[in-house]
Structure 1
């Protein structure tokens, strides 16, 4: 797409901003959104910022019938000086294009999309909440819009970015949660779409999550789809274990989403001198580590919650309590460091935080 100025249609009837203490994650949305269209003849075109509004989509649009879609999740933060910051946004946009490749969706111009997201966030800067632990959630997504009932790749798409002021993803906050190990249902399989961020992966996870919540668990721990013994993800997050001083996280074998927070945690841990191993680990090995007294911590990593400590796991009716059900020292250190970087409160040795209106933080 030849870069063109982004047309802006300003909303005149501004919404009343929510009280952040009362807000649920992903329930409130800002005044504007970004939209861009794709057609086989014209490529990506007509980039525009318009008032937030419902979409008009043909009932035969292929998204409704064959699920050809991808999305991302990222956040904007407000620094103590009032600057709007993004955290490693280029990594999310790069991952969006990898998802596009897997779902046969035309790739986007990464530099242009980052520019568009910055322009939208800058316009909606007043929506970024100021309370610690809050942020402005950014949801870019692409849907197939061609009205056609043949099973094929669509030749028409819409790329959309919406924004939502949010508090904590889990009501427990950074406190440990109880997790059920899922033995029946599976999330993804190697060769499938597990390493892409597409809606079908999340739809297939809902049944197990529903059962877990009904029985009082916050999330499920997913095992591999073939042998059902190798640990993959926890809920919609990547998962880490501290075993005898070593940090172990499942290797990216094709069925696991390569998380930006996962990558950030690995880089921080290595920077601090920890041994980090990306490898397969079975649920039996984890339980054995617990019984041997060397399972020290467990936690999930993801954009929404950042770090979510695991207080206990239940597998085959056996409950194991990790670190006495308390937030581990390493989990808290990771959470505090990553969030301090995100909010511009501490030195950023990796150049991860990016000003919306300025150059990289020095």
Structure 2
């Protein structure tokens, strides 16, 4: 069936695939909802956005995304409350960040009205894919890629902006073990570390593979120049609890300005927790671990929400972290999810009703 709105061209599926999915045994990013959105940038302007059934697309082998990596993305989630209402969490932040990432990668910024009407319509069409219950969500992946055919080393003149969605549960279902980076780097000054550029993640896969071969799960990256300061983990921003203080690195052109990160900082401040946003040295954390002052390390991100680190390796030495009563990781994860699932007051007006 075809339909028109003021902005969108909509083609719905003839039959839903939802009954083919086992929602009790989801693998993250393996099953996709019925519809997707795409919008092409041609002749200097974004064309009419289209919502179509999820499926394969055709691109030229010479499309510039394949050769020069002009690609950016975002991660968002939709949540369903006990009354079957669907909510987003701080979507304005994701919209601003994907355009910031696009700007850094010479990709044209996407219009706000196109983004939000596409998002709302897509979630209305596929609202049955958003399941109730804490931990359940519909993961949303907006992204933009260079589609112009040509292998000349220059920015493209044609692009495609897309949104796909997939039902999700917890990204990590157990605490993780990490290693502090001492050889490889995630990002350097003046680079694209602050952007959600696809290449940032591709470049991490090999060092992360080496860490996994040693029985570890993730890397906490350090500054590229000295490897003396801890910055962020492979898929998350990172927090350290020393005593009752919460420490996290400041954002800069190497560190992603995470939506979950800034939300946890605000929730902690609301409760009177001392939050120190400053450079965190490897030496400080190793010494705090040895003295017993290091109580927690946890990651924060859209896919992961909050995940506890159970121990870290540095200089070939593995440091176990203690089990603490009333951990900040659990507390702030619950506080955050209660807001996301419309089970608590939203003092900062972060919820967005679909």
Output the TM-score relative to the length of structure 2.
0.95
- Equivalent residue number for residue 19 of structure 1: 22
Q: Quote the Cα distance in structure 1 between the aligned partners of 2:43 and 2:240.
A: 46
Deviation, 1:17, is 4.1
Distance in 2 between the 1:40 and 1:290 partners?
Answer: 57
* Structure 1 SS opposite 2:299: strand
Q: Please point out which of 38, 42, 45 is paired with 1:35.
A: 38
Q: 1:90-127 CA deviation, whole Å, 9 max, x = no partner?
A: 10011001001100110111243022111101110001
Kindly indicate whether the alpha-carbon contact (under 8 Å) linking 1:35 and 1:49 is maintained by their aligned counterparts in 2. yes
CA–CA distance in structure 2, aligned partners of residues 226 and 4 of structure 1: 51
Q: Please say if residues 6 and 48 of structure 1, whose CA atoms lie closer than 8 Å, have aligned partners that are also in contact.
A: yes
Identify the residue that residue 67 of structure 1 maps to in structure 2: 69
Deviations 1:108-157 (A, max 9, x none): 11243022111101110001122321100000000000001111111000
SS at match of 2:47: strand
Q: CA deviation at 1:292?
A: 2.7
* SS of residue paired to 1:137: strand
Counterpart of 1:55 (choices 45, 57, 76) is 57
Map of 1:101 onto structure 2: 103
Task: Name the residue aligned to 2:160.
Answer: 158
The 3 A distance-change label for structure 1 pair 17 and 121 is farther
Contact 1:309–1:328 (8 Å) recurs in 2: no
Point out the more displaced range, 208-217 or 30-39.
208-217
Alignment length, in residue pairs?
349
Match of 1:112 in 2: 114
3-state secondary structure, aligned to 1:286: helix
Report what 2:346 is aligned to. Answer: 348
TM-score (norm. length: structure 1): 0.93
**Corresponding residue of 1:180:** 179
Q: Can you list the C-alpha shifts for 1:174-232, whole angstroms capped at 9, x where unaligned?
A: xx321122222111111111000011000010011111222221211111111111101
Secondary structure at the aligned position of 2:24 is classed as helix
SS of equivalent to 2:49 = strand
Q: How does 1:201-350 map to 2 (within 5 A)?
A: 201-324=200-323, 329-350=327-348
Instruction: Return the alpha-carbon distance in structure 2 between the equivalents of residues 111 and 335 of structure 1.
Output: 31
Q: Within 2, Cα distance between the matches of 1:310 and 1:302? A: 14
The gaps in structure 2 that reach 5 residues or longer are none
**Separation in 1 of the partners of 2:30 and 2:52?**
20
Corresponding residue number in structure 1 for 2:146 = 144
User: Could you say if the C-alpha distance between residues 121 and 237 of structure 1 is closer, same or farther in structure 2, counting changes exceeding 3 Å?
Assistant: same
Shift of 1:329: 1.7
Displacement of 1:328? 5.4
**Cα contact 1:241–1:299 (8 A) shared by 2:** yes
User: Are the equivalent residues in 1 in contact too, given 2:134–2:337 (CA < 8 A)?
Assistant: no
Kindly indicate whether the alpha-carbon contact (under 8 Å) linking 1:246 and 1:277 is maintained by their aligned counterparts in 2. yes
CA distance in 1, matches of 2:131, 2:23: 7
Q: Distance in 2 between matches of 1:177 and 1:60?
A: 40
Q: Quick check: 2:41–2:158 contact (8 Å CA) kept in 1?
A: yes
Q: Which residue of 2 aligns with 1:359?
A: none
**Cα offset, 1:14, TM superposition:** 2.0
**Where does residue 360 of structure 1 map in the other structure?**
none
1:327 deviates by: 7.9
Are the equivalent residues in 2 in contact too, given 1:260–1:303 (CA < 8 A)? yes
Preserved contact between residue 128 and residue 136 of structure 1 (Cα < 8 Å): yes
Partners of 1:340 and 1:352 in 2: CA distance? 12
